[in-house]
Amino acid sequence: MKALRDRILKDGKCFPDGILKVDKFINHQMDPNLMKQICVEFIRRYASTEINKIITIEASGIAPAIMMGFLLDLPVVFAKKKKPSTMGDMLSTSVFSFTKQREYHVVISKEYLGEGDKVLFVDDFLAYGNAAKGIIDLCKKAGAELVGMGFIIEKAFQHGREVIEAEGVRCESLAIIESLDNCEIKMREK
């Protein structure tokens, strides 16, 4: 997606250990117009897929997910990183965070993910695929069908796509970073 690639080159910043900072337009300060274009592109790519719910994981996935839900008129559920004391029956899995270098639990209430659901997952980044693996596990536990995963930015050199496709799940990403070596953003054309 050209507008996104151009924006990453203009406002994205490289950090050590393969981290790209996009907090000027995606996950701290947000550009709603770009976010809408991002979601319209996800919707175009998944146009022939039956979806009844959008899921994501807090916190950075919530912005694209709510925009998707709004545009498709579908409910949006996000996996929580802390179990609320008021949550009843829930599904739980553990996820290793590469940016925070620690393991944490994510939970979703059984009330909001279950058999018969056909869910599309969206998130800001695909890196090693740990968050994606957690979501795949939650969907399996729920008996829900994960019809696809959509990422705003994929860092191809961290190979998360292989984790997702090995599970037979469709993966779409709108900007693919080939390398951040020497603090230079190298992006796949198209």
Rule CB under 6 A: which residues touch ligand 5GP?
19-21, 27, 60, 98-99, 123-132, 160
142 in a known ligand binding site: no
Containing 166, the helix (H) or strand (E) segment is helix 160-166
Residue with Cβ nearer ligand 5GP (69 or 129): 129
182 in a known ligand binding site: no
Q: How far apart are CA 150 and CA 126, in angstroms?
A: 9
Q: How far apart are CA 117 and CA 72, in angstroms?
A: 15
Estimate the crossing angle of helix 32-45 against helix 2-11, to 10 degrees.
140
Q: Which of 67, 113, 66 is nearest to 90 (CA)?
A: 113
In the complex, least distance from residue 59 CB atom to ligand 5GP, rounded to whole angstroms: 8
129 in a known ligand binding site: yes
Residue with Cβ nearer ligand 5GP (29 or 111): 29
Residue with Cβ nearer ligand 5GP (33 or 99): 99
Asked if residues 79 and 135 have their Cβ atoms less than 8 Å apart, the reply is: yes
146 in a known ligand binding site: no
Binding residues for 5-phospho-alpha-D-ribose 1-diphosphate: 127-131
Binding residues for xanthine: 20, 27, 155
